[in-house]
Chain A
Amino acid sequence: MYQYDKHDQAMVDQRVSQYRDQTRRFLAGELTEEQFRPLRLMNGLYVQIHAPMLRVAIPYGLMSSTQVRKVADVSRRYDKGYVHFTTRTNFQLNWPTLESVPDILAELASVQMHAIQSSGNCIRNTTSDQLAGVNAGEIEDPRPWCEIIRQWSTFHPEFAYLPRKFKIAVIGSEEDRAATRVHDIGLHLVKNHEGEVGFEVLVGGGLGRTPILGQTIRPFLEKKDLLSYLEAILRVYNRLGRRDNKYKARIKITVREHGINHIRELVEAEWVQIREQLLLDDKEIDRVKQYFTEPAYEADASSDDSFETVLAAEPEFARWVKQNVVDHKVAGYKVAYISLKAPDVPPGDVSAEQLDVVADLADEFSLGEVRASHNQNLLLGDVKQSDLYALWLRLQTEGLATANINTMTDMICCPGLDFCGLANATSIPLATEINERFSDLDYLYDLGDIKIKISGCMNGCAHQSVGHIGILGVDKKGEEWYQFTLGGSSEADAAIGQRLGRAIPKDQVVDTVSTLLDVFKENRHEDELFLATVRRIGVDPFKERVYANN
């Protein structure tokens, strides 16, 4: 993975000093709350219901075991000994004090981590595919490009005060595991007719109260032009994006109001002017790529036959492998998901002790690296199949072997009214209730892939609009009600979910999920997946059943 040189380290260290002074000025009354707010946000610090919340960037979801240990350490010393992983592969501390944040940032800087631009109206952490570099179908590893974008976007002097937040995601395979179509900019590494690899550039996707899918602004961009093209899009957006209404300030609205063709004309006209200044030379591309070269995989890893033997002998292990382990591009290696969706834990939460174990397991079994996914789980990307059983045994003792990846209990769920100052309704208690009701794993496996996403308000942090089943909390005269949508997806077949009907009271939410599943099972063709059934039969059969009794 990428290692800071003296320049990278100096910038992160200087950022800590700068923020230490900003915090001091705020505490001394030299900065008003209003003046301090954007400054703390650009260092990841929100002020929530109970306490400040600090969001720390994990660039494109990749961490070393050293970094994971530091995260655990920081959460013990400055927080309550657990952290929360987010849908943009960041992690959050829910209970730090405002005064301690400069110290936390200094600790993180010592292991090349930061909270720079993890919030605020600026370019946020660039995200990617959790299977980057290890999946067989990949056109090219997107991570060097993410790092190049990370550096370009960090402290970009022109784009620190954009109309609204700005998120970029990059993928290198046709499957979209990074929700690129709901990002402000989605970048897909693609091959053109001549066999050259470049980027398809999408713009104007986003969720929140106006969910919109991104559109292609350029079908093929040469790699050397990446930064100039991004800069052109950002400059057009910085000048044109609305500043009169924060709900209409995202680039998705700019694109919708002006039309993709007009935006394309503006961007291309701008790009022509700056293209030469920002050419990426091969030297720089190679410099970054050398940090992501393939490790020395053992050539005889696939000659192991112990894996098949244990699979046959240990049904519980086999179940975990079936659900949580995916193929690696190198024979004899596997990718293991560590589910952070245990039934008794809020989705995405993990304790400091568990993180220490994950770091140890990464060192022992997976070349010392840990990955975070958009779905709020962790992964070990390079595990020899002969090590999987030992890995699973250890995960099991730590409560980290929940075999539910991609099942309906692998939910995305925002912190909701329990923690968040914006929420209208709770979401974690619903996740808990769904877990209690649907605890039979065989039932879950039979249902197949179902993505449930629960947000406690319109801001849609859990991406409910693109959930196969989306559940959105709304406030009705002080009571919590929930609006269902069906058929959404954030993957290559991206779509915004359709509304099921009027909102449903809290005590009927889980019954409603159950009813939806009944309708699915009755209409399902053999092993058809939930999303396919919904798309085939439409929302009406679900609607009729759910609202039949009232």
Chain B
Amino acid sequence: MQIIKDREIVEDNWLHLDDDAELAASNITVSIARWQEQHETLSHYEGGLGLRLTGEDPLEEIVPDLDKFSLIVLNFPAFTDGRCYSFARLLRDRYAYKGEIRAQGDILHDQLFYMTQCGINSFEMANANRLIDAMPAFDDFSESYQTTVLKPEPLYRRR
């Protein structure tokens, strides 16, 4: 399937592995439960490794492992569930995570701007028919008042 990554529409090359599915030879993402259970095996996995998180998950517990993952997938079961916006900011601002952070699930055009400000840089949009239609939403606003991952200085220091 196609996703938006760094403001471009690209082919996704990750496999989201169910907890009981066998390891496949590709780039895979696993749930936090599987990561914690199969920590040893997965640490030596040859392909790209990604971690899937939901707003329920204990983010702080996986911080020491962050350098193992080139992708963190943040799940939005409903677009009204805003917990993972905080996760994204913490991953970037506090834990200096440099890999891909992907929003997955119930995401509309209208969330792309905020998500980007929080440090999410790829989007797997379950409900989007035409990704191209979503692209203008990245530029909904030319400025933000707050400190964001994209602009670490608040607007008041730039006026």
Contacts and interface: CB of A to CB of B under 8 A. Distances in A.
A121 B80 contact: yes
Given A11-B141, A156-B146, A157-B148, A243 B118 contact: no
Contacts of B115: 157
B79 interface: yes
B116 to A, nearest CB: 8
User: Does more than half of chain A's interface fall in helix, strand or loop, or is it mixed?
Assistant: helix
Interface string A131-160: 000000000000000000001101111111
Interface in B4-40: none
Interface string B82-100: 1101100100011000000
B61 to A, nearest CB: 14
A284 interface: yes
A22 B113 CA distance: 14
Among A17, A121, A243, A283, the one with the most B-chain Cβ atoms within 10 Å of its Cβ is: A243
B114 to A, nearest CB: 4
A10 interface: yes
Contact of B157 (A31, A161, A281): A281
Given A152-B145, A156-B146, A157-B85, A5 B159 contact: yes
A278 B154 CA distance: 8
B65 interface: no
A262 interface: no
Most buried by A among B79, B85, B89, B117: B85
A149 to B, nearest CB: 10
Given A151-B155, A162-B82, A284-B156, A157 B143 contact: no
Contacts of B93: 274, 277
B146 A35 contact: no
Nearest to B80: A161
Contact of A158 (B110, B118, B127, B143): B118
Interface residues of B, number: 35
A238 B85 contact: yes
B143 to A, nearest CB: 5
Contact of A238 (B80, B86, B117, B159): B86
Contacts of B108: 31, 35
B80 A158 contact: no
Interface in B57-88: 79-83, 85-86
A239 interface: yes
Nearest to A278: B147
B94 A273 contact: yes
Contacts of B79: 35, 38, 161
B156 A287 contact: yes
Contacts of A22: 110
Given A152-B145, A277-B147, A281-B157, A18 B140 contact: yes
A157 B144 contact: yes
Given A10-B142, A154-B145, A277-B147, A287 B94 contact: no
A39 interface: yes
A338 to B, nearest CB: 33
B85 A39 contact: no
A517 B81 CA distance: 48
Contacts of B140: 14, 17-18
A157 B118 contact: yes
Given A7-B159, A158-B89, A243 B142 contact: no
A243 to B, nearest CB: 6
A151 B145 contact: yes
Contacts of B144: 155, 157
B145 A155 contact: yes
B32 to A, nearest CB: 15
Given A14-B140, A151-B155, A287-B156, A160 B82 contact: yes
Contacts of B94: 273
A235 interface: yes
A278 B155 CA distance: 11
B104 to A, nearest CB: 16
A280 B144 CA distance: 16
